[in-house]
Amino acid sequence: MRPLCLALIMSLASALPAAAQDWAVGGFDAVGYTAAGRAVPGRSDISTMWKGRLWHFASEENRARFEADPRSYAPALDGMCPISITEGHPQPGDPRHFAVVGGRLYLLESDAAERQLKTRPQEIIDEARQIWRRR
């Protein structure tokens, strides 16, 4: 019985990271970035599926706002860091580091990238968008 329990536990544990990888924005509430101005953890019981990913929200109201217009809340540049794009080595943004520029959410790879974007946000975003479109 013990080997069977151990095998079951091991198979479930290996499936958890795969499931968590399908969580959009690392499980943070995509609406919370603009509504609260900070990274707000989403709740596991308030979610929706969009573009093959599970999006979590801090409230039913935020989920409804997202479902009404998901493209306006989803991270721009497919969640890639605009600084890394302009530097020629695109990296996924970290949901804990972000900026909202022109009403759009941009995820950044680090504190340093966050500081750099604040120096000339629109110029960097425009350059990153041009590069990202050509890919």
For every residue of the chain, DSSP letters joined together read -HHHHHHHHHHHHHHHHHHHHTBGGGGB-TTHHHHTSS--BPEEEEEEEETTEEEEESSHHHHHHHHH-HHHHSPGGGGB-HHHHHTT---BPEEEEEEEETTEEEEESSHHHHHHHHHSHHHHHHHHHHHHHH-
Q: Which domain holds residue 46?
A: 23-70
Q: Does residue 19 or residue 64 have the better pLDDT?
A: 64
- Domain check: are 80 and 56 in the same one? no
Residue 107, pLDDT above cutoff 50: yes
Same domain, 127 and 90: yes
Same domain, 44 and 84: no
Residue 2 lies in a domain: no
| Global pTM exceeds 0.85 | no
- At residue 1, the pLDDT reads 53
Question: Does 83 have pLDDT greater than 60?
Answer: yes
Mean pLDDT, the chain, whole residue set = 88
**Predicted local confidence at residue 113, as pLDDT:** 97
Note whether residue 126 is domain-resident. Answer: yes
- Give the pLDDT confidence score for residue 135 in this predicted structure: 83
